[in-house]
């Protein structure tokens, strides 16, 4: 599956893809675009991209860059 195809899925289908095909890499706090409070969640490797899934499972953000690798540098 491509990142574009994943983005087109409903929230429910995204959660299913993460559950059955994702590999949890660890916890991560995602920065708010407006500079507000960070959002806690987890990072998953999924196919050829990564996905942030918030703790409440309401926010799913796919990315082509591994956010956890950026933290380690």
Reported as a pLDDT band with limits 50, 70 and 90, residue 23 is: very high
How do the residues of the chain divide into helix, strand and coil, expressed in percent and rounded to 5? 30, 35, 35
Q: Which two tokens stand for residue 27?
A: 């916890």
Q: Which two tokens stand for residue 37?
A: 């409070």
Which helix (H) or strand (E) element contains residue 66? none
- Share above pLDDT 90 across residues of the chain, in percent, rounded to a whole number: 77
Q: Total structural domains in the chain? A: 1
- SS3 state of residue 62: strand
Q: Which two tokens stand for residue 65?
A: 């860059």
pLDDT at 73: 44
Range of the domain at 43: 3-72
pLDDT at 9: 98
pTM confidence score: 0.87
> pLDDT tens for residues 28-57?
999 877 777 889 999 999 999 999 999 999
């Amino acid at each position: 599956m491509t990142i574009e195809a994943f983005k087109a899925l409903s929230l429910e289908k995204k959660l299913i893809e993460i559950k059955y095909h994702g590999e949890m890499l660890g916890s991560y706090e995602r920065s708010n675009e407006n500079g507000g409070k960070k959002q806690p969640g987890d990072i998953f490797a999924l196919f050829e991209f990564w996905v942030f899934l918030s703790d409440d499972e309401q926010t799913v953000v796919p990315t082509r860059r591994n956010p956890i690798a950026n933290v380690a540098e």
